[in-house]
Amino acid sequence: MPTSKLWTPHALLAASAFTAAVLACADDENGPPPTLLTREQLMDPLACASCHEKHYAEWASSMHAYASDDPLFIAMNARGQREANIGGFCLECHAPMALRTGATTTGDNLAELPAALKGVTCYFCHSVDGVEGTHNNPLRLAEDGVMRGPLADPAPNAVHTSTYSALLDRDQLASADMCGSCHDIVNDRGTHIERTYAEWQASVYSQPLVGTSCGQCHMDQTTSLEPAAPGAEPRRLHNHSFPAVDLPLTPLPGEEQLRAGVQALLDTSLQSAVCVRGAEGAAQIQVVLDNVAAGHSWPSGAAQDRRAWIEVIAYVGDEVVYQSGVVPPSTSVTQLADPDLWLIRDCLFDEGGAETHMFWAAAGYDTNLLPGQVTFDSSDPRFYQSHVYRNYPRSGLLPRYPDRVSLRVYLQPFGLDVFDDLVSSGDLVDRDDVSVADMRAQLTPLTVGEALVWTREAATENYVEGGLPVACVSATNLLANADKVPAPEHARCSP
């Protein structure tokens, strides 16, 4: 699809009928105010851009704006239509206004639709007046032309009526009900294939008084007061780029800001420690991870497509004496012949028990995602259920006692094995603006935090466990000697 089909702020604003010269962001004292915009006009994000320029630019760089232009979505939807007649299943969340207005039923004509109907738009979120379920987008939209938001005292304006809604207030836990409705997916077979909202509900972050909403992590608040629109009272604004995990594979305006936001979240999600247990001739490496800040399992979302793994390398001098999770460039982590590989993801299985990449065929799943926190009370035994460990090698001992061990955590938002499968099926193809090869190159694994390096001298914690000396390094406050549990294991996933 040509770049011009995307939300490019400057080009689209120049072509839009909704410019600042036409729209009045505040009541005009020198004459009668213009007529309030119609529902159809409010459905165009460009109508919002004239007054909410900063919010619009952030949104235009987001995966919400990109949701129905994403080549992975387009390919997966096309394959689902061909193999399973999935209808509007994907469109409910990726192009909700296009589906609800009847502009499309299967998404096969998305490329021809006006940009105003594509992606998750301003109107779609800000007209929600009810949540009628927990998954697959059960959001109820008002048709009264009133834009809902987090402000109890919205500024009067001559463009639209405004009102407060807890569903759009990041400081209210109710707002998670709205976000979660699209970030929790159950397929037609009743298989819960995406569970971010359910994971949050089961965590401490969903509890009143101590909890945290989706928006408090994914919509950063400004530290200074700024006007949300020309002439409006300065307030603290909320970022509308919604960083999480996914990144665009084709040109998207402002994607540098999105990428920085994604990296910032990844760098603060986990705590880690690396230890060496034992002595010369009888030692193992132990890695401890704690999903301390994700607010749900890690990774989350379409975890059947995600690939997270742990890289451990042990050295004696410059010689590598042990390694696991070392993935050559442009290689799928699933291709490694590595018996100790700690690969974190969901696996889907069809009715016959065979592994499948395609969500519509899933009759069950197997998961080993890192669990979220269930309490902040360190005296509660459940506090340590998110402290998980894995020993290397999984069986046996290191060939030699190392003098240096490096630990690195990687996350690939979309696995190369699934990408290659979509190419092989003919559903993921070259576009006018980017080739399949260039898209694949964009799937370079993301790093999660800084590399952690263990040496005897750098040890931040020394103790005895089971009669064995243990020396550990952590760059955070994670105590490896605290209670912990074995890392979740796949029961039937391969590898």
For residue 245, tell me if it sits in a domain. no
Q: Are residues 206 and 107 in the same domain?
A: yes
For residue 422, tell me if it sits in a domain. yes
Instruction: Name the domain boundary from 180, 212, 244.
Output: 212
pTM for the predicted model, two decimal places? 0.92
Reported residue count of the chain is: 495
Q: Are residues 80 and 141 in the same domain?
A: yes
H or E stretch at 84: helix 71-84
Q: Are residues 316 and 415 in the same domain?
A: yes
- Provide the sign of the torsion angle of the four alpha carbons 454, 322, 297, 334, taken in this order: positive
Give helix then strand counts, H and E, for the chain: 14, 23
Provide the angle, in degrees to the nearest 10, between the axes of the packed helices 71-84 and 416-424: 60
H or E stretch at 313: strand 307-316
For residue 234, tell me if it sits in a domain. no
CA-CA distance, 145 to 481, in Å (whole number)? 57
**129 residue type, one letter:** D
Q: Are residues 141 and 49 in the same domain?
A: yes
Q: Are residues 206 and 270 in the same domain?
A: no
According to DSSP, the residues that pair with 311 across neighbouring strands are: 408
For residue 251, tell me if it sits in a domain. no
CB 59 within 8 A of CB 45: yes
CA-CA distance, 481 to 372, in Å (whole number)? 20
For residue 221, tell me if it sits in a domain. no
Contact partners, residue 476, CB within 8 Å, separation at least 6:
271, 272, 292
H or E stretch at 469: strand 468-474
H or E stretch at 407: strand 404-412
Q: Are residues 147 and 276 in the same domain?
A: no
Q: Are residues 293 and 440 in the same domain?
A: yes
**According to the model, what pLDDT value does residue 24 have?**
56
**According to the model, what pLDDT value does residue 119 have?**
97
Q: Are residues 323 and 468 in the same domain?
A: yes
**Alpha-helical runs (H) found in 16-154:** 39-42, 45-49, 53-60, 71-84, 91-94, 96-100, 122-126
Q: Are residues 186 and 326 in the same domain?
A: no
**401 residue type, one letter:** Y
For residue 232, tell me if it sits in a domain. no
DSSP 145: S
Take residue 116 and report the two structure tokens written for it: 């105003």
Q: Domain limits at 27?
A: 3-212
CB 58 within 8 A of CB 34: no
**According to the model, what pLDDT value does residue 222 have?**
87
**According to the model, what pLDDT value does residue 94 have?**
98
Take residue 360 and report the two structure tokens written for it: 């519509």
Residues of the chain where predicted confidence (pLDDT) is lower than 50: 1-23, 28-32
Residue 294: phi and psi, rounded to 5, are -75, -30
- As to burial, measured by CB atoms within 10 angstroms (0-12 exposed, 13-18 middle, 19+ buried), residue 414 is buried
Instruction: Name the domain boundary from 184, 212, 240.
Output: 212
HEC per residue, 246-309? CCCCCCCCCHHHHHHHHHHHHHHHEEEEEEEEEECCEEEEEEEEEECCCCCCECCCCCCCCEEE
- As to burial, measured by CB atoms within 10 angstroms (0-12 exposed, 13-18 middle, 19+ buried), residue 236 is exposed
Take residue 369 and report the two structure tokens written for it: 């995602």
Q: Are residues 200 and 265 in the same domain?
A: no
CB 95 within 8 A of CB 107: yes
Q: Are residues 290 and 400 in the same domain?
A: yes
DSSP 238: B
For residue 242, tell me if it sits in a domain. no
Instruction: Name the domain boundary from 212, 242, 272.
Output: 212
For residue 491, tell me if it sits in a domain. no
Residue 112: phi and psi, rounded to 5, are -95, -5
According to DSSP, the residues that pair with 164 across neighbouring strands are: 149
Number of domains in the chain: 2
